[in-house]
Each structure stands twice: as C-alpha cells, then as structure tokens.
Structure 1
C-alpha cells in the first residue's frame, strides 16, 4: 500500500510537499480548482524544485478549463523539474466547473481529451480538434528541451461513472476515485476498467495504479465520533459529501441515492440551502470551504452517521490498519488523504506515525 497527501493548493505554502516527503508519503497531489485555490502547476514547480523523492502531480487537473495540449505541456514542464516522478491526475471537473455554474466535461469529450494528452506525453503526433477543426499536432522544437516526455508521466484518471472508468482503462495508467469505495463497488469498477482496456485493444498492466481520495482521523483512547478534535480533523470533507449530494440532487431531480441513515440530516441541509443560498448565486455558495474548511454554520451537519457514510478512515489504529488490509486485498494500491487546511500538518503526521509506520 502506498500513501498520498493531497492539499488545498496554496502557492504560498508549497513547503507542505517537502514535509510530506519527510513524513514518508509516496505521492503529493495538488488539486486544480481555479476559482478557489492557487494554480496547481505553479505550485508543483516549487514543490518539484525543493523535493527529491516524492512523486508529484495534479489531483486532479480539470479537462474543461484547459485545452488538452496545454495540460500536456504543463505537466511535461513539471516533468523537467522532477523527471520520472511526475504524474497527471485528470478529471472532468466536479467542483472546478460547478463553482462557475458550468457542468463537468461530458464523457465522450473527456475520452478524446485523454487520447490527445496521452499521445503528446508519449512524444507522438496526434489528431486534435480545436474550434471544430481537426489538425495533427505534436511538441515542436524539441532541441530546446523545454518539456520532458522522455521519462514517462503516468496518467491517473479521476473516474467513478462507467464511461469514465472505461476511458481510464483505454488511456490511463491508473485511476483515482472520489471517496473510499465499498469493497464490492471497488471490485466492480476495476472490472469496468479492464473492460475499457480490452475494448481499446489493450491489456491492463499489473502496474495500473489505483488510488482512493479520502480522509482520516486516528482516534485516541476515549474519543468518539462526536469528539471535537475528531470533527475538527474531518469536518470539511464530511460536509463536502453533502455538497456533492446536492449537485446530484439538482442534476437528477430526485434524492433516492441518499441513505436513509442520514435522511434527517439531508432534509435539514436541503432546507438550509434553500433558505440561505439564492438560486442565482448558489453555484458560488454551495461549495464554500470545499475540502479545505467547514463553514461554521455547516458544522451542525457533521453527525456520526454522516461521518460513517462519507467513507473516511476514522477509528483507532488497529481498525484503520484492518480496513486498509481489506482495501489492499480488493485491489487498492494507494490511499490519498485530503485533510482540512487548519489541521493538515497534524493530520498527516498522526497518520504517518501511527498507520504508515506499520507498512515501512
């Protein structure tokens, strides 16, 4: 099992990646969300210059906000600074697009986007459609050595739905899922990825990477899911689950997907949104604090059952280690933690000392 640290990208705090390296984390992920955080590539350039071992990449880059050739050249530029330890996490843009009132990129366009990026990162010429016209493109003036495609940049596709999962199998070197999936769901989704690879005439390699974006709190003796310190360690991530539920609710027109275990909390949250977030500004307000901090007025929604269904690694050390063993046996290769900003250093350190140390 490998371990990753994801942070709310802040170019003024690039040092966190060096600290993750010192703690023994394998991957450092910089999310790409233009309306709330710093530029991921600028931040990664500083992280790359000041680290030596940790693998660095986007967590995840957003296809809808940049042309495919721009994404390819940006990550290939980071690969100049951190050759052979650079990866590209890439997704359709749940938060980055929705906070502008837009929709994530559609599956067909995303698949083609991955094809172009993969080809360019392998030093190939590819057909690329821009403004309705398709032209052959490739990196030019290679003698200037401005980008690095000699050392591979692995592509980790953010995928939860079946079409994105198949695209990951066709064009990805790995997959990162949003949330810590139940074992049966993880197994099913890995099967869909294999199907996507086979349909593309590809055999999925054993090295295909599988990561889960989640959160953790190593509980101390006597603590419960209602303890203040525990809630502080996970609050932003739990309320982000409600933000995601609301987006699905608006999109699907129903909320049948919401567990009965949290039905009361969910109904309370819907009333809160309706009463405090005007529809014309809702896209700006719904994701406030996204995975970085919990707005004080939303803390009341963090109940024990909400914590449980959000799928984090919350428990005493032996419980977390047992859960990791189950996930690893099911095919998961990396756990990627995204803690709230205010507690991230303590959170990363606790997890490294009490959980990761058992794997080293």
Structure 2
C-alpha cells in the first residue's frame, strides 16, 4: 500500500526523508510557503541525493508565487536528480498566499498552471498566458542536458471544494484531500471524484485519492488533549478551512453537528470577513504549523480531533489507517505539523502503521 509523509521544508532536516524511506513510506512531500518555511525545491534536491526509492514532490505549490514555466522547470530539474520519482503537488494555496495577505488563486489560475506545466514537463510545446499576452512556450533543451522531461512526473492536486474536485478529476493523477478516518466523509469525496472522472471521460480508477490526516501516537496515559498539545496543534483547523464549503452542501449526509463545528473553527481562525478591524494576516499566520499556539487551544474540540486526525495507540492507528483504505483512500497521507517532533512521528508512523499493513 502507498503511504505519504509530509512536512514543512526545513533545509537542515533533509534526513527525515531518508528516515521515511527506510521505514517504508512511498512518498514524501514538503510545503511551499515563501514567508513560512524553507524553499521546497532546495530541500527536495538535497533529499533526492540522499534517497533512492521514495517519491518526492511539493505538497503543495500554487499557480501564483511561481508561474507555470518556473514550476515546470523546478520539477523537471528535480526529475533529473530523482528520475521517475518526482511528483508535482499543486493547489490554489491556503498558507502561501493567505500568509502574504492575498487571496488564494482561482480555479482558472490553477487550471492553466496545471495544463501548461504538464505539457512542458512532457517535453511538449503549449500556449501560456501571462501579463495579458498569450505566447507559445517549450523547454528548449531537447537532449535532457539541463532537466528531465522524459520520465513522467505525476500531478497531485490539492482540492477543497466541488470546482476543485471537478478540475482535479479532469487533469490530476492524484487528488490530495484533507480527510480523517470517518467513512462517511471519505465515501463522499470518493464518490465525487469517481463522478468527475466519469464525466471527464477518463477510465474508472485512473485518479487516486490521497487522504491527508493529522498524526499523533498517544503515549501511556495520554489522551486527545495531549495529542493536540504535543502533536498536531491547530492542524485540524486547516481541514475545517479546506472543507467547510463543501460540507455545507452535504449536511444531510454528514450531519449538522460536524458541519457547524468545522465552519465555526474555520471562521474563528481566519476571522470574520465582515469584521471592520480584522486581525493582521502576519499575526494570524505567524502561528501556523509551529506547534500549538495557546490562543488556538479553545478552537480545537475532541469532535474535530476525532473527525480529522489520525491519532491513538499503535493498534488504534493501524485500525484507523485500514479504515481509510477500506472506504476509498488509495494513499493514506499524514502531515507532520509539529516540526519539533518530526523524527519521533516518522518513527511511529513507520513502526506502528507502515510495517504492520
């Protein structure tokens, strides 16, 4: 079974990727946040030289902080170091753009970026619209000297709503979606993906679902509150932000309590859009994925933790992981949101889950 580990890029912690590979993980992804983390491509280039089997990619980049030809070049360059094991993870951007005080990219932005990048990474000529002008673009090295556009690079698309799911079903190889071990939510997303794939005329099963959950292994005597305090912190709120719009359209299937709880947490974190004096965006995002900020503690309830997180004893972790696979997830994915315990978390993932699958 495929299993992905993700974390924030920290340039001097590349050894985490080798650790994950040795423990049996099939993929490793790193986030792209210019004001938040180290540069992902420098991190992945170093990781490529220290590993031999694990797939490497952005998790995720976006269409705006790097334009499509630059994104395509970065992945094709990585593909020269890790041929056939590079993937491009891309989405509209939650943290990268919001942390700069900007709105996420539009679905139209994402669509163009994906299609242009895919064409370029496959060695093809295509049209690219930038700064109001449309021009033909193509990688000009046809001999594989500067980058690798011969070995295929898969597209992972992060989706968080109906339009994103439809686009991903048309163009992606893998859809990355924030999910926990809850069958009804997994089945809903699986159904939406399969419908989108059929509508796009693609073969059944041609698009995989990577379910992203927040991880913590409980030690003796610990409970869900320790998991929040010591592990995934405010990570579950990211799942609420991503999912609240789609969940509101499926209240009868998911249940009013979890829909309301997720929307409430998302609103409390981001701030009321109608507030005449909203919190400064730098203050909001300075706390993102840095462990638990005390101001976020009241927002994270056991209901949200149970719904969005992969946590528990080793046996519970295994059971929940198997439940995710059984209900339609193809690649179980965990994002390590506390960088200060990443080594411990990866060790626990490898020994408690991957080795026992």
TM-score (norm 1): 0.85
Residues 329-340 of structure 1 correspond to what in structure 2 (within 5 A)? 329-339=326-336, 340=338
Distance in structure 1 (CA, Å) of the matches to 2:183 and 2:13:
35
Task: Quote how far apart the aligned CAs of 1:204 are.
Answer: 4.6
2:178 matched residue in structure 1: 178
2:208 matched residue in structure 1: 209
Pick one of 310, 314, 330 that aligns with 1:313.
310
Go from structure 1 to structure 2 and tell me whether the alpha carbon gap of 1:120 and 1:42 turns closer, same or farther (over 3 Å shift).
same
Pick one of 302, 310, 325 that aligns with 1:328.
325
Go from structure 1 to structure 2 and tell me whether the alpha carbon gap of 1:46 and 1:155 turns closer, same or farther (over 3 Å shift).
same
2:218 matched residue in structure 1: 219
Q: Is the 8 A contact 1:194 1:204 kept in 2?
A: yes
Task: Quote how far apart the aligned CAs of 1:92 are.
Answer: 0.5
Bigger shift: residues 92-101 or 177-186: 177-186
Q: Is the 8 A contact 1:239 1:298 kept in 2?
A: no
1:8 matched residue in structure 2: 8
1:196 matched residue in structure 2: 196
Distance in structure 1 (CA, Å) of the matches to 2:55 and 2:242:
32
Task: Quote how far apart the aligned CAs of 1:292 are.
Answer: 3.3
1:119 matched residue in structure 2: 119
Q: Is the 8 A contact 1:288 1:295 kept in 2?
A: no
Q: Is the 8 A contact 1:33 1:62 kept in 2?
A: no
2:169 matched residue in structure 1: 169
Q: Is the 8 A contact 1:156 1:209 kept in 2?
A: no
Task: Quote how far apart the aligned CAs of 1:259 are.
Answer: 3.9
Go from structure 1 to structure 2 and tell me whether the alpha carbon gap of 1:294 and 1:288 turns closer, same or farther (over 3 Å shift).
farther
Q: Where in structure 1 are there 5+ consecutive unaligned residues? A: 249-255
Bigger shift: residues 49-58 or 329-338: 329-338
Go from structure 1 to structure 2 and tell me whether the alpha carbon gap of 1:24 and 1:312 turns closer, same or farther (over 3 Å shift).
same
Task: Quote how far apart the aligned CAs of 1:62 are.
Answer: 1.4
Q: Tell me the alpha carbon deviations over residues 85-116 of structure 1, each in whole angstroms, 9 at most, x when there is no partner.
A: 11111110111111111111111221222111
Q: Does 1:136 align with 2:133?
A: no
Distance in structure 1 (CA, Å) of the matches to 2:227 and 2:78:
37
Alignment length (residue pairs):
345
Q: Where in structure 2 are there 5+ consecutive unaligned residues? A: 246-254
